A and B are shown apart, each in its own frame.
Chain A
Amino acid sequence: EDKVVQSPLSLVVHEGDTVTLNCSYEVTNFRSLLWYKQEKKAPTFLFMLTSSGIEKKSGRLSSILDKKELFSILNITATQTGDSAIYLCAAFLLLLNNNDMRFGAGTRLTVKP
């Protein structure tokens, strides 16, 4: 059974802290790993990782994929209250007749001032 597991489930930090969110996956037909940020409503896309060891970076956020150990991490440096959200990772599966995504349960990050 395809499985995507995120840890921790929730995290409370103070502004300025650095956080690392984890995502491990056990899926068939893996193609890519995606990270989303979900604030009050719809998820918004952050990163897509397809190759091992290549860091993707956007401002204070960065992410990397390890296809040998089947995990990805999302780092946020110098956190701000606006980073408070649920962070979702998803494995994109490339199947014969369709494509599919398997989401993890998410990590709820709370950044306190």
Chain B
Amino acid sequence: NAGVTQTPKFRVLKTGQSMTLLCAQDMNHEYMYWYRQDPGMGLRLIHYSVGEGTTAKGEVPDGYNVSRLKKQNFLLGLESAAPSQTSVYFCASSYSSAPYEQYFGPGTRLTVT
């Protein structure tokens, strides 16, 4: 099992460009999450999904969109990147809503110039 994988690992964007971050899990988990981590801010939930075809907003959803067309994949999109979106993005998945069961991916470091 690969667990939770994220693509790409690093990316540099210019302001206004768009991109999609891919999260994949092979554990048949229902729940998937996207977080961002900034210095001094801890992890903040952007969007999450409780099953295929569903998405919901987290604490900081503005400027991001997500899709969960397949159970194993959760995509995070930035339509028009801004420097404030420079961050490390973590995807996580879990079988249930129990937080201790969340498995995190290795992270994607995104820089927007």
Contact = CB atoms under 8 A, between A and B. Distances in A.
B98 to A, nearest CB: 8
Contact of B42 (A41, A42, A88): A88
Contacts, number: 48
Interface of A: 4, 6, 9, 32, 34, 41-45, 48, 88, 90, 92, 98-106
B100 A34 contact: yes
Given A88-B43, A105-B41, A99 B107 contact: no
A48 B100 contact: yes
Contacts of A99: 97, 99
Nearest to A101: B99
Contacts of B44: 103
B58 A100 contact: yes
A48 B41 CA distance: 21
A50 to B, nearest CB: 10
B105 A100 contact: no
Interface residues of B, number: 21
A103 B35 CA distance: 10
Contact of A32 (B59, B99, B107): B99
Contacts of B99: 32, 34, 48, 90, 92, 99, 101
A72 B8 CA distance: 36
Contact of A98 (B56, B90, B105, B106): B56
A82 B107 CA distance: 21
A102 B107 contact: no
B42 A4 contact: yes
